[in-house]
Amino acid sequence: MSPPLPTWLRAFVVLAALASSKSSARASDRVLNSNSGLQDKAAGAAAPAGFTLEGDAVYGEYPDRQSERAGRCVRLLSGRDKNGDGVRRGSISQTAKGITAKEGRWFRFRIRGLAQDGFHVQRDALFLKVEFFRDGGTNALDHVQKSIYSQIAQERDDLRDPATNPNLGLGSWRSYDLDFRTPFPEVDTLRLSVTFDRGAGHGEKSEFRIAEFELTRIPDPAEFVARTQAKADKSRPASDNPATNRLVPLGGRWYYDPRSGETAQPRCGNMVWPPAGTSSKSLESAARFKKLT
């Protein structure tokens, strides 16, 4: 019989377990779609619960030990016309409802996938796609998509090493993301999909395997915030800017900085100053004339 664990070690194990469960709960709370791990199977259908498979795509247990995972996954088949329609293409998709702009309009669609060495498509035709709907999903609005095939090709090149056993392959589990903003506040439904077309795979190992499929909300990117603020500042009238409320407009972007209660453009006799045609350089040399950019 093994000796009991010391008290301090038991306490450490309990605290670690609690921290892990809290971390998992936080991760689960932020995922907006159901069955993101693809482990729940739809009743009476060869697809994950809540998902739709089309074309040359299959769902089930990992077929070999080289996957380094257990459980179920979706496999996109670039080397086999599974449904016999004469083309190699397929997809997995899910509809996420109840989307609201109240907490922000930026989201991330992320999958976890592995491209086997023989997985190939022509014209980079492997996409993450998001379609936007309003009115509970009845009215289509727009869509965005991103090809991830070039990223896969680059990752293969990065892993290529003549000294490595070729039997190990170049495939590895990677995350692929599509960050996007809903085009209108009225968007309340999203259709997320991974699609491939023009399959040109060869050999038995010609699949793209998907193990995770999730939608999360993300903060507004810093670049977007800065660009939005700059646009707002540029479009705001000078009269709305506290720093320029006291200035007297001269025309264009030029203003006169009055003193002692002045409220009009300065004059020299009967002539308004500065005269028409005065160069910008001359105006810039006068401290009381300002050019707003």
Half-sphere exposure of 171 (CA within 13 A, CB side): 19
pLDDT for position 125: 98
Q: Does the pLDDT of residue 115 top 60, yes or no?
A: yes
Instruction: Report all structural domains of the chain as residue ranges with CATH numbers, in order of start.
Output: 30-223 (2.60.120.260), 237-291 (no CATH)
3-class DSSP state of 158: helix
Whole-number average pLDDT of the chain: 82
pLDDT of 17 strictly over 60: no
Read off the pLDDT of residues 127-152 as tens digits, 9 standing for 90 and up: 999 999 999 999 999 999 999 999 99
Predicted local distance difference test score (pLDDT) of residue 292: 54
SS3 for 207?
A: strand
Q: What average pLDDT does the segment 182-186 reach? A: 97
Can you tell me the mean pLDDT for 149-173? 77
* Nearest CA among 116, 261, 119 for reference residue 196: 119
Q: Please check the confidence at residue 92 and state whether its pLDDT lies above 90.
A: yes
The answer to which of 20-24, 40-44, 62-66, 86-90 has the lowest mean pLDDT is 20-24
pLDDT, position 263? 66
The secondary structure element, H or E, covering residue 18 is helix 7-30
pTM of the entire predicted model: 0.71
Read off the tokens for 182.
């809903």
- Which pLDDT does position 27 carry in this prediction? 42
pLDDT exceeds 80 at position 99: yes
The arrangement of strands across the sheet holding 254-256 comes to 248-251, 254-256, 289-291
Confidence of residue 238 (pLDDT cuts 50, 70, 90): low
pLDDT tens, 243-264?
566 677 766 666 767 766 666 6
| 13 pLDDT tier (thresholds 50, 70, 90) | very low
